[in-house]
Structure 1
Amino acid sequence: MTAKIAFADAEVGTELPAQTFQVTRDTLVRYAGASGDFNPIHWNDTFATEVGLDGVIAHGMLTMAQAVRVVTDWVGDPGAVVDYGVRFIRQVKVPNDDKGATVEVSAKVAAVVDESARTVRVDLLAKCDGQKVLGMARAVVALA
């Protein structure tokens, strides 16, 4: 698969379609099974509070992966993301109910990285409960 977005159509300031992701306790259990990260802070309220947390929190890598879906859905090819990084600045607290936590992600083209390689930098903003949860969230994407 190749990127469905042409380099010429991705001007600086172009906004990507925003997305909202629900993170439930079920999501955490599934992610733990896929990633092998069974740390009890991600599923056990008692343990999480005993180590000083307000309760169960989402895996940082899960939050990071969900955020970049805004970019991969926009470009149409996960392989078009040639670099991606974030700073984890706030925990996503996941209540023990059917709703869970809501992570809202928006993104925009922030810079042309290399015209000859047709790469752009996309800056992402991920929030939960109105608070930013990822800092310096940036993806470099190779376009068609």
Structure 2
Amino acid sequence: MNCEKIMSKLLEIDDYSHIPLKIKLHLLLCPKCRRESAILLHSLNSMKADAPYCAPSWIEKSIIAKIEEQNASGYSNISPFKWIASSSIIFASIILVNYSNTFIDINKEFGKSFSIPMAIVMGSAITSYLAILVGCNYEAMIKAINKYRHIILK
């Protein structure tokens, strides 16, 4: 990215607590952008310090509560029914593939040497599914782990 794009991306960031890695690397390597970002950050901090009006904390808390009520997360959650249905289909297909005519014919032709690659493919499918499941439901997983930590750690 060029310097103009970096500075426009930097201006789009609300608070400077989470600067993307690309921007951090560019600021590290480009002295011009590093100087401009330091000036920008200093200006923003001085504007915060010299603000003519500071809102009371109770207003801020009520606004944050209303925002959290809206659950405007930017992505939609997949219902647990869909996760259960898709996992049931995956596990049923793993069980039923052993009884299909094609699998039996291939197994007769190649013997046990076909079972190992098949197990690797099925293991990869399960691993991918579980990785997506955990990635999409990370917050719920953390809450469940914290809730049942005493049972898990026995």
Q: Please, what TM-score do these two structures have when normalized by structure 2?
A: 0.21
User: Larger radius of gyration, structure 1 or 2?
Assistant: 2
Q: Which has the higher contact order (CA 8 A, sep 6+)?
A: 1
> Whose strand proportion is higher, 1 or 2?
1
Structure number with higher helix proportion:
2
TM-score scaled to structure 1, two decimals?
Answer: 0.22
